[in-house]
Amino acid sequence: MALQTVLITGGSGFVAQHLVRYLQEHAIGEIKEIRCLDRKKYAKLLDYPSNIPVKHFGVDIKKGHEQHLEEALGGVSTVFHCAGKSFELLHNLENDFHDDYMRDNLAATELVIEAMQRQKVPNLVFVGDAYANLPVGDNYGLSEEVHSGLPKSYLLGAYGESKIRAELAARKACEKEHDNDYSMNGVFLRPALIYGEGHTNLTDAMLNLCKQYKNLPHIEGTNRGLHQFIYAGNLAGMMYQAMKKLIEVPEVVNGEYMYCMDTPATTDFKNFIRPYVEACAHHMDQDVNYFRAFSIALYHEICYRIGSKQAEQQLSLMAMRFLFGWSVGFTPRKMRLLLGYMPEFDQAESMRRSVEWFAKKDSVVLPRGRLASIDRNQG
Q: How confident is the model at residue 362 (pLDDT cuts 50, 70, 90)?
A: low
Residue 39 lies in a domain: yes
Residue 355 lies in a domain: no
pLDDT in tens, 98-128: 999 999 999 999 999 999 999 999 999 999 9
Strand partners, 287: 218
Instruction: Tell me, yes or no, whether 75 lies in a domain.
Output: yes
How much is the pLDDT for 215?
67
Residue 379: per-residue pLDDT? 34
- Asked whether the predicted pLDDT for residue 144 surpasses 80, the reply is no
Give the distance, in angstroms, between the CA of residue 138 and the centroid of all CA atoms in the same chain.
21
In a domain, 288, yes or no: no
Q: Are strands 229-231 and 193-195 parallel, antiparallel or unpaired?
A: parallel
Rounded to whole angstroms, the Cα distance separating 103 from 196 reads 27
pTM of the model: 0.92
| Gap between the Cα atoms of 258 and 339, Å rounded | 10
Q: Could you read off the pLDDT of 304-327 as tens digits, one per residue?
A: 999 999 999 999 999 999 999 999
What range does the domain containing 165 cover?
4-198+229-262+330-345
Number of C-beta neighbours around residue 235 at 10 A? 27
Task: Judge whether residue 211 has pLDDT over 90.
Answer: no
Q: What pLDDT does 290 receive?
A: 87
Is the CA virtual torsion 91, 97, 98, 101 positive or negative? negative
Confidence band, pLDDT 50/70/90 cuts, at residue 367: very low
Q: What is the dihedral of CA 44, 46, 49, 54, to 10 degrees?
A: -30
What CATH number is associated with residue 235?
A: 3.40.50.720
AA letter at 323:
L
Cα separation, 178 vs 118, whole angstroms: 11
Closest CA to 1 of 24, 32, 23: 32
Least confident of 19-28, 253-262, 270-279: 270-279
Total structural domains within the chain: 1
Q: Is residue 101 part of a domain?
A: yes
pLDDT (0 to 100) of residue 3? 92
Q: Does residue 76 belong to any structural domain of this protein?
A: yes
Would you give the distance in Å from CA 304 to the centre of its chain? 26
Query: Does a structural domain hold residue 295?
Result: no
- Residues 62-103 pLDDT 10s: 999 999 999 999 999 999 999 999 999 999 999 999 999 999
Our CA dihedral for 54, 59, 60, 66, rounded to 10 degrees, sits at -130
pLDDT given at position 363: 46
Q: Is residue 369 assigned to a domain?
A: no
